[in-house]
Amino acid sequence: MASFLLRRILIALLSIIGASIVLYAVLALAPGDVFGELVSNPGIPPDVIANMREKLGLDQPIHIRYVNWAMAMLQGDWGYSLVNRVDVGQLIVQRIPATLMVVGTAQILALAIALPVGVLAAMRPYSLFDQIASTLAFIGFSLPTFFTGLLFILLFSITLDWLPFIYRSDLEQTGGAWIWAQLRQSIMPVTVLALFQAASWTRYVRSSVLEVIKLDYVVTARSKGLPERVVILKHVLRNALIPVVTMVALELPVIFGGAIVTEQIFRVPGIGSLLISSIMANDTPVIMAVTFVFACLVILFNLIADLLYRWLDPRIKLQ
């Protein structure tokens, strides 16, 4: 076990280095720079812009810029936003609360819906419950979030006038009123995201439970007269969870990555909106930092998923 763990961690470290190189190259080769409006503004002399490019080091060769970045990163220096002119770390830290609040809650909610609904649907396949759950799930992932979000706004904010549709990170209320305001402004973005996510997760859970439920040992367990609840929880779920764990491990880093479209619609100041505005402005240090943290999280969660496999099914031999 120890040697497996060691080797797996080594691979993960290699992945992180590889990812950072690929990311850096992609961003350096990608078109565009931060000067957006400046270059089309006739009031700014071209040599001023050329001077800025040079001072920001944008004219150096890629590998030198990469080494500079990596050395700074090792010392905990995240770099400096070219647009905001502040430390990237500071920018990211500002965005984390809203992201956790909205995207994190949505993911938990999605899991809380998908697990029971998926298991129940699989226990009685093609029952009325299963049909309804499946159809709702299909509706869920065939509508893009920009569309459902808008429907929600039109219904709950415009027509009914119940909920605000602009998310504020600095509510002035305190205590109970704060919780109430926070709840009101979170309902729509969280629901939109959770429904979209739950739709596909329900399908995964249902399908993997269906796979397992017919296996010999489950049939054996049943024939031994074990109560259905025990069969499902002890024998089915444990095995069915393997593919589910895979999918969830892949999706969890998204909590950090944010939800670009939903954040845009409800003006949630999360990491997703930071990423998209940085991409639009070509603010490379910020894009690099956000995507690199995201990459590290993906690799970390995959590592955890691999370890979980062993725990869920000791027969799996990973070498």
Partner 1 sequence: MSVGPAAEPAAPTTWQRFRQHRMALVGTVVLGLLLTVVLLGPLIWSVPIDTIDFRARLALPSAAHPLGTDDLGQDLLARLLYGGRVSLAVGLCAMLVAVVIGTLIGAIAGMSRGPLDAFLMWVTDLFLALPTLPLLLLIIYLFRDALTGLVGPEVGVFVLIIAVVGGLRWMPVARLVRAQFLTIREREFVEAARALGASRLRQVVQHILPNALGPVIVVGTISVAEAIIAESTLSFLGLGFPPDTPTWGRILFDAKDFLSIAPHWALFPGLAIFLTVLSINFIGDGLRDALDPRKVR
Partner 2 sequence: MKEQDIRGLIGRVKRGDMSRRDFVRRMVAAGLTAPVAGTMLAHNGVAFAQSAFDYTPTKAGGGGTVKLLQWQPASQLNPHFAVGSADQHAIYLFYEPLASWDEDGNLSPILAEELPSLENGGVAEDGTSVTWKLKRGVTWHDGTPFTADDCVFTAQFASDPETLAYTMGTYRDVEVEKIDDHTIRLNFRVPTPFWPDAFVGTRGLILPKHLYQDYPGAQATTAPMNLRPVGTGPFVIENFVPGDLISAKANPNYHVANRPYFDAIEMKGGGDAVSAARAVLQTGEYDFAWNLSVEDEILDSMTAGGRGEVRLIAGANIEHLQLNFTDPWTDVDGERSSITTEHPCFRDKAVREALALLVDRAAIAEFIYGRSGEATANFINTPDRFASKNTSWEFDIEKANQILDAAGWERGRGGIREKDGVKLSLVFQSPTAGQRQKTQTVVKQACEEAGIAMELKAVAPGIFFSADPGNPDTFAHFYCDIQMYTSPMREPDPGLFMQQFLSSEIAAKANNWQLRNVTRWRNDEFDELAAAAAVEMDPVKRAAMFIEMNDLVVGEVVVIPLIYRKVAAGMRTGLKAPLSTWTSYLWRVSDWHYDA
| Binding track over 89-128 against partner 1, x by CB under 8 A | ------------------------------------xx--
Residues in touch with partner 2 (CB under 8 A):
31-53, 55-56, 58, 80-81, 83-86, 91, 94, 153, 157-158, 161, 164-166, 168-170, 263-269, 273-274, 277, 279-282
Nearest to residue 104, comparing CAs of 243, 271, 265, 219?
271
- Residues 276 to 295 in contact with partner 1, rule: CB under 8 A: 276, 279, 287, 290-291, 294-295
Beta bridge partners of 80: 87
Cβ closest to partner 2, residue 18 vs residue 57: 57
Contact region with partner 1 (CB under 8 A), list: 87-95, 162-170, 179-187, 235-243? 235-243
Q: Which does 36 bind (CB under 5 to 8 A by kind): partner 2, partner 1, none?
A: partner 2
Contact region with partner 1 (CB under 8 A), list: 68-76, 82-90, 109-117, 150-158? 150-158
Whole-angstrom Cα distance, residue 285 to residue 12?
Answer: 23
Nearest to residue 292, comparing CAs of 29, 70, 57?
70
Whole-angstrom Cα distance, residue 18 to residue 292?
Answer: 11
Other C-beta atoms closer than 10 Å to the C-beta of 88 total 23
Contact region with partner 1 (CB under 8 A), list: 36-44, 163-171, 187-195, 236-244? 236-244
Number of chain positions touching partner 1 (CB under 8 A) = 70
CA distances from 26 to 20, 21, 22, 138, 312 (A): 10, 9, 6, 35, 38
Structure tokens belonging to residue 302:
């995959």
CB of 6 to partner 2, least distance (A): 42
* Helix, strand or coil, per DSSP, at residue 87: strand
Our finding on whether 69 is near partner 1 (CB under 8 A) is no
What phi and psi, each to the nearest 5 degrees, are found at residue 80?
-130, 125
Q: Are 199 and 133 in contact (CB under 8 A)?
A: no
Q: Which does 34 bind (CB under 5 to 8 A by kind): partner 1, partner 2, none?
A: partner 2
Q: Which does 44 bind (CB under 5 to 8 A by kind): partner 2, partner 1, none?
A: partner 2
Beta bridge partners of 87: 80
Q: Are 289 and 78 in contact (CB under 8 A)?
A: yes
Q: Are 283 and 83 in contact (CB under 8 A)?
A: yes
Sorted by sequence, the CB contacts under 8 Å of residue 305 that are 6+ apart come out as 245, 246, 249
Our finding on whether 311 is near partner 1 (CB under 8 A) is no
Cβ closest to partner 1, residue 1 vs residue 158: 158
Whole-angstrom Cα distance, residue 107 to residue 254?
Answer: 9
- The site for partner 1 (CB under 8 A) is made up of 7, 11-12, 14-15, 18-19, 22-23, 26-27, 29-32, 125-126, 131, 134-135, 138-139, 141-144, 146-147, 150-151, 154, 158, 200, 203-204, 207-208, 210-211, 214-216, 239, 242-243, 246-247, 250, 257, 260-261, 275-276, 279, 287, 290-291, 294-296, 298-299, 302, 309, 313, 315-319
